[in-house]
Structure 1
């Protein structure tokens, strides 16, 4: 967790930050139960009501969840694919296979005008660029570029991203920020050269357009924090939106 000043903060807010730090340090993993409110109160030297308020805020933020009669648990990070699935064309009820993620690297750059506008940043603001490859049974099917405000996520590095299931989990564990999709756009585009090489596209497929997804995700309060572009191969798969 990032070190944030705790002085002058209410006690429940200080406890909230301590719990986030401990989750970020790996003391509790996804779906692990936290100690009871009474045990935490005793450990932290606070009242049970103060601890409950801190936990309730973390539940409201989507970082914890409660199970009736069982306790409070660490919430899993949301899927990097949101409601999207890759299915066989025409088979709407197909059980999707999990996609394997490969972390390709993290670097620094500057926001384009479109990115700066979408993320409500100043022109050419510094960004972190995270690249990921997605495989279906070993076959490359999609490649991502996720851009994050560098000032907001100082300290995010390859170690955190390699040790997580993706950007969303790293941000939730490292910074206590849970992302949700704010908006998406889809277009059919020719693959850029670098993405084409990563996806192993050759021959006739190289001349076919790929599905380009541009997504802006943000905090639970709706503050935009991620601009992502994903290229998906769709000559053998159909991008399908899951519906409840």
Structure 2
């Protein structure tokens, strides 16, 4: 964004963007308290009301949270499964999900297909980064992700960052100051393609059982679509469960 474009924004929007960038750069970590509204107002040369409006929008977006009488804090980075999705035994709604181990498989480049370009609001054949990662439960593969990101937005992405991180969303926030939020998800049953079946270790009779295919579109806090994700989940023994409330 140019300086002139920034100046055309309302002051509260400029404060919001600055705080967003500082959080993304790691100035304040998860559950750290931000300075008070008065301190931020004095530091940024803005009124307390302007700072309060900026903070309120960041709270509404999920980047911050408030504790009554105590202050405003940095919210945890959402995991790659979102805050509410999990794999559990079918029918056992109260079962505590087993933690899934993430295995980074690779980072490559490709060009956007027509449907992906449309979803990400890019030109057709725009350059994309492709991130592939495998999820294991008790050592056995249970899900496979293919994530597509606009290459121009995330130029300089390093495979070492992804290999050493707990998840993609944490890397995007830490390295690029981008906080992701899930916009929409679609689910359908689908037979696994050969390569995906091999990575998931699907053989024998299980190979004839459809997998759950999830398509996800995620955006940054300003609503700009930045992630297209396809996830295959093996659900012949597990249920993809979304917890509400």
TM-score, length basis structure 2: 0.83
Q: Cα–Cα, structure 1 residues 13 and 161, in superposed 2: closer, same or farther, change >3 Å? A: farther
Alignment pair present for 1:114 and 2:102: no
2:227 corresponds to: 226
- Deviations along 1:53-111, one digit per CA (max 9) or x if unpaired, are 33233223321122211111112223322343211123233221221222223221111
2:36 corresponds to: 36
Gaps of 5+ in 2: none
Is the partner of 2:23 in helix, strand or coil? Answer: helix
2:169 corresponds to: 168
| CA distance in structure 2 between the partners assigned to 1:15 and 1:170 by the alignment | 24
| CA distance in structure 2 between the partners assigned to 1:230 and 1:22 by the alignment | 31
- Deviations along 1:166-195, one digit per CA (max 9) or x if unpaired, are 2233334423333223131312212432x2
| CA distance in structure 2 between the partners assigned to 1:184 and 1:217 by the alignment | 12
| CA distance in structure 2 between the partners assigned to 1:18 and 1:209 by the alignment | 46
Could you tell which deviates more after superposition, 43-52 or 137-146? 43-52
2:20 corresponds to: 20
Match runs of 1:1-244 below 5 Å: 4-6=1-3, 9=7, 11-82=11-82, 83-162=84-163, 164-173=165-174, 174-193=176-195, 195-219=196-220, 222-244=223-245
Is the partner of 2:214 in helix, strand or coil? Answer: strand
TM-score, length basis structure 1: 0.83
RMSD: 2.6
The answer to whether the 8 A contact 1:182-1:222 is kept is: no
Is the partner of 1:151 in helix, strand or coil? Answer: coil
CA-CA distance at 1:131 after TM superposition: 1.2
| CA distance in structure 2 between the partners assigned to 1:143 and 1:109 by the alignment | 18
| CA distance in structure 2 between the partners assigned to 1:33 and 1:191 by the alignment | 47
The answer to whether the 8 A contact 2:184-2:217 is kept is: yes
Gaps of 5+ in 1: none
Is the partner of 2:97 in helix, strand or coil? Answer: coil
- Deviations along 1:192-240, one digit per CA (max 9) or x if unpaired, are 32x2332233333344332222222234565432211111112321222
Could you tell which deviates more after superposition, 201-210 or 228-237? 201-210
- In the alignment of these two chains, the number of paired residues is 240
